[in-house]
Chain A
Amino acid sequence: MNLNKIFKNALLVALACLALSACAKKVGTGQMQGDVYTGTDTVEYLASGVPDRVFFATNESVLTTKSRETLRKQAAWLRKNSKINVVIEGHADERGTREYNLALGERRANAAKDYLMTYGISADRISVISYGKERPVDSGSNPLSWSKNRRSVTVKAN
């Protein structure tokens, strides 16, 4: 009887462990699609429902479907708040040479800027700055951390 109870408890603990590890795994992969970050850990909001950043694949500056959706929300918010100007910061992960990453960050920031412009935001309201790999948000040295750092962030300038 007693033994049976102990065994049952052990089984429960083992099951809980399994469930936890499975869960942890799910979070790990669930936050990336390909190698583009899809989580919300680092995201801040320009206004309710308007995320401030979009994420990129390694070495890429192509906007994903989700990024375009985010930028359309930013464009709508900018149209509503016509006195607000923004700076778009372009960033790269640490897995590249410093100088190339500066250029890549600039390319990413401009990809976001161009998209906002196609939704009617005037170029003089948007400036861009590249930080290359100089300002990571996540100091980790693993694919998930790197995916959070490959980003462009729209910041209020006034």
Chain B
Amino acid sequence: MLFRYLFIFFLIIPIKSFALIEVDINRGNLSPLPIAVSPLSLDKETKNNLKKFLEKEDVGAEISSVVENNLKKSGLFNPLSKDSFLQKPDIAHLKPRFEDWALIKAQALITGKVTFSDEKLRVEFRLWDVLAAKEMMALAFTTVPNNWRRVGHIITDKIYERLTGEKGYFDTRIIYVSEEGPKTKRIKKLAIMDQDGFNTKYLTLGNELVLTPRFNPTNQMVTYLSYFRNLPRVYLLDIETGIQEVVGDFPGMTFAPRFSPDGKKIIMSFAKDGNSDIYTMDLENRIVERITNHPSIDTSPSYSPDGKYICFNSDRSGYQQIYIMKSDGSNVKRISFGKGLYGTPVWSPRGDLIAFTKLHKGKFYIGVMRTNGKGERLLTENFYQEAPSWSPNGRVLIFYRETKTDDKGEGFSAKLWSIDLTGYNERLVSTETDASDPSWSSLLSN
């Protein structure tokens, strides 16, 4: 359960600021950029030395496959088959023969090199514009060998940022609820994994029901709902130490927790006598504040990134709709007016959109609307899906989907899926077990 975010990295060559190739991320993935990811080279001595630390034959090739996989899954890049590469990795890294790479239709090329000294892994990589025959970027990282996957994610973030002009989302984690067992007796555990499904760790044992985990802005704490001792309450968990504590002292169920963007407060619902309202608790001075006071159900609160507003779910109009208000609870305004029921509003990290779940005529949709409720766009339709969570750059949504059971009530499953904001590139996110309630971390480094 312990993992530190130890990471040192050095910039060796400054980034050149003129863009050569550009990837337009607003258009959807109709023509992903052909890119060649040459395996990072490492000499024999490095290979032998590294074997003592990692059970990997060729960590250079493994890092480049992390990068390749990330780029492919983004839907914006088309990594070319390594079988077609003509130039050797070590030579390509020094001076690519651009004609060779142009021949296989690569527009961008990634090369790199791995060395090992003082028990530290040093990874350098370069990004090349094949058609302009120019280097676009060169960086090097030094870290402990066990961090090799993260090096691959950070390299992907750098490439993504250089080519799209926006921050990446690859050096991130997903916290979610792992599910096992029959539908009527699900066993649920908190789990955390890298964004690409690797390095899964379980944070609870499954003795009690746990739901809706969410990261704090620094990704060290998680707030979630636990049925510990059959008392459903919001908890706070320190991922590194494993220490858990109940949030506040409420005489009833607290649920639907999230952190404020500064990480100082937890906002959640408190249910009493059949009425749910929204409250905050300040984590420093423990002061509890009531934000809504209405006989209807008020739940699923989510702050705007500047902390000035809250969007939430209420059935005060008779049915579930999305509302926004100032963070002190004033100026409540309904923003969803389309057909159907609306739930789980989540404010985009860019501030301009709210993602939501919609239920209409027996189908569930994940969609986005502007913060004034205009411009509703439905991204995906299914039998059951809900609870979108934004990638830190606001380009991708992760959510969970449940299947319809058959005539015998069997065949139930819950899985994580992601979709691009454009509505393209819908993908199953691989998890070791069934999974639900995903929450995306912010970037771990950069």
Contact = CB atoms under 8 A, between A and B. Distances in A.
Interface string A119-158: 0000000000111001111111100010000000000000
B9 interface: no
A70 to B, nearest CB: 19
A21 B225 CA distance: 46
Contact of A110 (B211, B274, B409): B274
B387 A98 contact: yes
A117 to B, nearest CB: 11
B182 A139 contact: yes
Residue in B252, B271, B273 with the greatest tally of chain A CB atoms within 10 Å: B271
Given A94-B384, A139-B412, A102 B343 contact: no
A111 B313 CA distance: 21
A52 interface: no
B412 A99 contact: no
A129 B232 contact: yes
A114 interface: yes
A61 B297 CA distance: 12
Contacts of B271: 102-103, 106, 130
A99 B383 contact: no
B276 interface: yes
Contact of B300 (A61, A100, A135, A137): A100
A96 interface: yes
A111 B274 contact: yes
Contact of B384 (A59, A95, A99, A134): A95
Chain B interface residue count: which class? 35 or more
A108 to B, nearest CB: 8
Contacts of A53: none
Nearest to A102: B255
Given A61-B274, A100-B299, A130-B232, A95 B412 contact: no
A102 B410 CA distance: 24
B183 interface: yes
Contacts of A114: 274
B409 A97 contact: no
B343 A130 contact: no
B297 A135 contact: no
Contacts of B319: 59
Nearest to A137: B184
B297 A96 contact: no
A97 B184 contact: no
Given A98-B212, A102-B232, A129 B253 contact: yes
A104 interface: yes
A138 B253 CA distance: 25
Interface residues of A, number: 30
Contact of A107 (B186, B225, B274): B274
B353 interface: no
B106 to A, nearest CB: 45
B207 to A, nearest CB: 15
Contacts of A107: 274-276, 297
Contacts of B383: 141
B297 A103 contact: yes
A140 B255 contact: no
Contact of A134 (B209, B275, B386): B209
B274 A98 contact: no
Contacts of A145: 409
Given A130-B271, A140-B405, A145-B409, A96 B184 contact: no
A99 B274 contact: no
Interface in B344-398: 344, 357, 359, 362, 383-384, 386-387
Contacts of B231: 129
A97 B357 contact: yes
B404 interface: yes
A110 B273 contact: yes
A100 B273 contact: no
A95 B359 contact: yes
B297 A136 contact: no
Contact of A97 (B182, B362, B386): B386
A44 to B, nearest CB: 15
A100 B343 contact: yes
Interface in B292-319: 297, 299-300, 313, 315, 319
Nearest to B209: A134
Nearest to B188: A134
A89 to B, nearest CB: 10
Contact of B297 (A100, A134, A139, A140): A100
A129 B409 CA distance: 26
Given A61-B274, A106-B253, A106-B271, 17 more contacts: A97-B357, A97-B359, A98-B387, A100-B300, A100-B313, A100-B315, A103-B269, A103-B271, A107-B274, A129-B230, A130-B271, A134-B186, A136-B184, A139-B405, A140-B409, A141-B409, A145-B409
22 contacts: A94-B402, A95-B359, A97-B300, A97-B344, A97-B357, A97-B386, A98-B386, A99-B212, A100-B297, A102-B225, A102-B256, A106-B271, A107-B275, A107-B276, A129-B231, A130-B232, A130-B271, A131-B209, A134-B209, A135-B185, A138-B184, A140-B405
Interface of A: 59, 61, 94-100, 102-104, 106-107, 109-111, 114, 129-131, 134-141, 145
List the 6 closest pairs (A to B, CB-CB), nearest first: A110-B274, A97-B343, A139-B409, A139-B183, A103-B276, A141-B404
